[in-house]
């Protein structure tokens, strides 16, 4: 058999091929490869926009970091204001209690030192932040250029120029001194005067409390020994609410003794009866009942008005002898029967059942005074006389087994206590008045602290605009290698514009930064020779500040509780409460601890919110693009790059490797200076100039081609 000649595109395997089918296959493959080429081209064009987005975010992230620095400085300034004021207030409070007066002068001086440090620190914060915001455009430009370079590959190179809107921030002014802080020079002298007055008040309080203790012991504190409580129980059988017992002087009051005495004499009056049938006992019983009636009536006029700040009481004294009896109505009341004998002589008797009245005519009721004035003879049976009435309470007042003895002690101690309390009130006023004045001054200072804050509007507070250029020259044949797709020519330059702004973040990152601000400083306090009271107060207030003003008030209250403020006068507790009220009434503004994060935003919105020339050029360019349906006006992009690049280079000249944002001198001008520094990576500083120059150079070259205009040097 001869060989069979094969023909192209023909196979004898049961299928068939035609020229039309072959062409269809070739067209299909060509279309697929062309679509892939288009996809690759468009994808690379879109990559430029993605890189621009990343560059804008990187630039704006530097502004977010600046806000953290500014907010930390603001928190530190505010917390120094609060800490200094609180220390002065604590010193004033300590001056009110002799046991804590040794701390008073130190606390006041420490507070003044902190307030002085606050003013100098605020000045240095403003200066440092101004320097830092001056270099923000360069930092943002370098960061954007670095991101563009990091996204470059063998197939595409990207160059970014970033500009902040606004390009220049507003000058940051130092917060004003606290309202009234300049008048604190005499606070140490005021504290000394308060200390002297408080010491005198403490002595008066000690004397007053001694009288109160004596009265308590005479009323019920001495039980089961003789006292009003024990005598009322034994002599009158009194129990329960009419005769209460108090095991603690703190729970007892003078009113308890007055109420007990009233109940006792009413009980004795209503239950009085002779102990026997003898004339002598019946006479004494009748006279005793008149005495008890007088006591009930007299004690009805008694009163006790006692409060934390005042004491006013009246314990009527009962007569303890005949002379004192003659000064009461026991002497003048007509309570005793008078009889007349056959000779016309009048005689006064102890009671109407006296046997001496037998056979005599009843004349009427007479008084002891009448009997003495008219010279009545003494009844030979009952022996009634003025001394009979006068000596009823004499024995029970003179010796400690009588109720009247202990009642009289309470009455006299109440009078002495009231006198000492009046002296104490006078002394307390000499303490409270200057303390109130000082706390009012501290309140004004704290109130002004809320307004005396660092206010910043840095470059980029509106946003960051990034222009990214990808130079052309990339061969299309390198993208899809096939004879079925035309691969002639190169991919031209690509450009993209993006923008980012700041949005509030719910993260607690800033709170953590603020809380840890003093970690290193507190650890070095010994080496820095800084008083622990200064650092402790500042640290406590700073941490409390991050948790809100209520925590700030609680924190200061906790610090006051560490002082020995317990005294007999209660002035320490009063002053501490007034200081807490002062802090709460100051109306401290809530802390601004909102973190910020960059988010993408249409560059038109960012640029239109700024009135700088560069932003206006961006707005004009975008509007021109919109009207030209996608075509770019000549030189618009290159002008934009030139402006942005020039601004970045100018800002770069201000770049230092280390920025001292502020310095702190808590211990005064002669104390250690503690700097708060921000160190920028040296590698970023060193590469910054090349990154910016290279980005500008390549971007301008690319924009010249993109606009169809050759750039000449």
pLDDT of residue 173: 85
First-last CA distance in the chain: 81
Report the percentage of the chain scoring pLDDT > 90.
26
Which of 345, 363, 387 is where one domain is finished? Answer: 387
Q: Is residue 34 part of a domain?
A: yes
Which of 370, 387, 404 is where one domain is finished? Answer: 387
> How many angstroms from the chain centroid is the CA of residue 46?
53
Reported confidence tier of residue 239, pLDDT bands at 50, 70, 90: very high
Distances (CA, A) of 58 to 48, 144, 683: 15, 6, 17
Higher pLDDT, 463 or 201: 463
Clarify whether residues 67 and 205 are in a common domain: no
Reported confidence tier of residue 435, pLDDT bands at 50, 70, 90: confident
Clarify whether residues 61 and 114 are in a common domain: yes
CB atoms within 10 A of CB 682: 10
Q: Is residue 288 part of a domain?
A: yes
Clarify whether residues 352 and 368 are in a common domain: yes
Reduced to 3 states (helix: H, G, I; strand: E, B; else coil), residue 177 is coil
Clarify whether residues 444 and 543 are in a common domain: no
Higher pLDDT, 627 or 252: 252
CB atoms within 10 A of CB 24: 11
Q: Is residue 3 part of a domain?
A: no
Contact 495, 703 (CB under 8 A): yes
Distances (CA, A) of 207 to 191, 201, 325, 631: 24, 10, 32, 98
Higher pLDDT, 536 or 705: 536
The whole-number average pLDDT for the span 307-315 is 89
Cα–Cα dist 552/543, whole Å: 8
Clarify whether residues 577 and 497 are in a common domain: yes
Clarify whether residues 88 and 117 are in a common domain: yes
The whole-number average pLDDT for the span 138-159 is 80
* pLDDT tens per residue, range 200-237: 888 888 898 999 999 999 999 999 999 999 999 999 99
pLDDT of residue 620: 74
* Predicted structure pTM score: 0.66
Which of 402, 433, 449 is where one domain is finished? Answer: 449
Reported confidence tier of residue 111, pLDDT bands at 50, 70, 90: confident
Q: Is residue 7 part of a domain?
A: no
Query: Which residues neighbour 198 within 8 Å (Cβ) at sequence distance 6 or greater?
Result: 95, 96, 97, 98, 101, 431, 567, 569, 571
Clarify whether residues 194 and 287 are in a common domain: yes
Q: Is the pLDDT of residue 286 over 80?
A: yes
Clarify whether residues 539 and 407 are in a common domain: no
Clarify whether residues 456 and 445 are in a common domain: no
Q: Is the pLDDT of residue 495 over 80?
A: no
Cα–Cα dist 128/70, whole Å: 10
CB atoms within 10 A of CB 616: 13
The total of structural domains in the chain comes to 3
Distances (CA, A) of 542 to 68, 277, 375, 517, 555: 15, 86, 90, 9, 10
Reported confidence tier of residue 411, pLDDT bands at 50, 70, 90: very high
Clarify whether residues 669 and 533 are in a common domain: yes
Which residue's structure tokens are 């030979």? 380
Q: Which of 86-95, 291-300, 610-619 has the lowest mean pLDDT?
A: 610-619
> ∠ at Cα 313 (255, 574), nearest 5°?
85
Q: Is the pLDDT of residue 559 over 80?
A: no
Q: Is residue 260 part of a domain?
A: yes
Nearest alpha-carbon partner for 573 in 191, 94, 251, 84: 94
Nearest alpha-carbon partner for 504 in 598, 589, 600, 605: 598
Clarify whether residues 509 and 561 are in a common domain: yes
Its domain, for residue 378, covers: 322-387
pLDDT of residue 665: 62
Q: Is the pLDDT of residue 14 over 60?
A: no
Q: Is residue 713 part of a domain?
A: no
Look at the chain and count its residues. 713
Q: Is residue 13 part of a domain?
A: no
Cα Rg of the chain, angstroms: 50
Q: Is residue 413 part of a domain?
A: yes
* pLDDT tens per residue, range 564-613: 666 667 777 777 778 777 777 766 665 566 778 889 888 888 888 877 77
Clarify whether residues 599 and 490 are in a common domain: yes
Reduced to 3 states (helix: H, G, I; strand: E, B; else coil), residue 610 is coil
Tokens encoding 340: 């007349």
Q: Is the pLDDT of residue 507 over 90?
A: no
Reduced to 3 states (helix: H, G, I; strand: E, B; else coil), residue 663 is strand
Q: What is the rounded average pLDDT for all residues in the chain?
A: 76
């Amino acid at each position: 058999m001869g060989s069979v000649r094969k023909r192209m595109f023909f196979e004898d395997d049961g299928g068939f091929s035609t020229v039309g089918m072959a062409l269809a296959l070739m067209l299909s493959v060509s279309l697929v490869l062309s679509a892939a080429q288009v996809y690759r081209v468009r994808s690379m064009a879109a990559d430029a926009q993605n890189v621009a987005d990343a560059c804008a975010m990187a630039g704006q992230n530097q502004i977010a970091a600046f806000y953290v620095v500014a907010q930390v400085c603001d928190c530190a300034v505010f917390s120094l204001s609060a800490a200094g004021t609180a220390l002065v207030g604590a010193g004033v409070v300590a001056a009110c209690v002799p046991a804590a007066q040794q701390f008073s002068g130190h606390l006041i001086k420490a507070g003044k030192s902190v307030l002085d440090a606050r003013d100098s620190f605020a000045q240095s914060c403003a200066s440092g932040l101004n320097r830092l915001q001056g270099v923000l455009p360069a930092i943002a430009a370098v960061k954007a250029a670095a991101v563009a370079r990091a996204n470059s590959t063998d197939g595409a190179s990207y160059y970014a120029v970033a500009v902040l809107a606004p390009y220049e921030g507003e000058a940051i002014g130092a917060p004003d001194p606290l309202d009234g802080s300049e008048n604190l020079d005499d606070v140490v002298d005021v504290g000394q005067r308060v200390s002297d007055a408080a010491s005198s008040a403490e002595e008066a309080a000690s004397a007053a409390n001694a009288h109160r203790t004596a009265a308590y012991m005479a009323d019920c504190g001495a039980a089961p020994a003789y006292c009003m409580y024990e005598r009322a129980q034994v002599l009158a059988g009194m129990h329960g609410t009419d005769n209460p017992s108090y095991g603690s002087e703190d729970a007892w009051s003078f009113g308890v003794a007055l109420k007990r005495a009233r109940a006792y004499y009413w009980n004795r009056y209503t239950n009085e009866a002779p102990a026997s049938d003898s004339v002598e006992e019946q006479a004494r019983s009748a006279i005793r009942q008149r005495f008890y009636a007088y006591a009930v009536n007299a004690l009805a006029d008694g009163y006790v008005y006692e409060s934390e700040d005042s004491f006013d009481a009246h314990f009527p004294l009962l007569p303890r002898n005949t002379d004192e009896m003659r000064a009461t109505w026991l002497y003048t009341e007509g309570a005793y029967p008078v009889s007349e004998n056959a000779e016309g002589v009048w005689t006064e008797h102890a009671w109407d059942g006296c046997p001496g009245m037998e056979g005599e005519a009843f004349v009427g009721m007479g008084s002891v005074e009448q009997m003495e004035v008219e010279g009545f003879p003494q009844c030979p049976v009952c022996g009634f006389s003025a001394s009979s009435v006068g000596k009823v309470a004499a024995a029970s007042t003179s010796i400690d087994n009588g109720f009247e003895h202990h009642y009289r002690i309470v009455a006299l101690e109440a009078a002495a206590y009231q006198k000492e309390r009046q002296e104490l009130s006078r002394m307390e006023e000499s303490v409270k008045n200057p303390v109130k004045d000082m706390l009012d001054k501290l309140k004004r200072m704290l109130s002004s602290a809320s307004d005396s804050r660092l206010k910043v509007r840095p470059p980029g507070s509106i946003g960051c605009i990034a222009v990214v250029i990808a130079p052309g020259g990339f061969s299309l044949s390198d993208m899809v290698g096939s004879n079925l797709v035309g691969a002639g020519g190169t991919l031209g330059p690509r450009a993209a514009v993006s923008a980012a702004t700041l949005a509030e973040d719910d993260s607690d990152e800033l709170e953590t930064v603020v809380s840890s601000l003093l970690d290193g400083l507190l650890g070095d306090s010994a080496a820095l020779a800084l008083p622990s009271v200064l650092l402790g107060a500042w640290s406590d207030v700073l941490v409390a500040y991050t948790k809100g003003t209520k925590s700030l008030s609680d924190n200061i209250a906790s610090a006051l509780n560490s002082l020995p403020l317990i005294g007999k006068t209660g002035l320490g507790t009063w002053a501490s409460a007034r200081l807490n009220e002062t802090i709460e009434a100051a109306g401290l503004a809530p802390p601004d601890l909102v973190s910020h994060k960059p988010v993408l935003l249409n560059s038109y919105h960012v640029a239109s919110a700024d009135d700088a020339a560069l932003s206006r050029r961006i707005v004009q360019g975008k509007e021109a693009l919109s009207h030209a349906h996608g075509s770019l006006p000549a030189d618009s992009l290159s002008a934009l790059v030139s402006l942005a690049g020039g601004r970045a280079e100018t800002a770069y000249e201000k770049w230092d490797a280390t920025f001292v944002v502020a310095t702190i001198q808590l211990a005064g001008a002669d104390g250690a200076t503690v700097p708060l520094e921000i160190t920028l990576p040296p590698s970023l500083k060193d590469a910054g100039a090349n990154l910016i120059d290279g980005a500008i150079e390549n971007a301008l070259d690319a924009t010249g081609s993109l606009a169809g205009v050759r750039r000449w040097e």
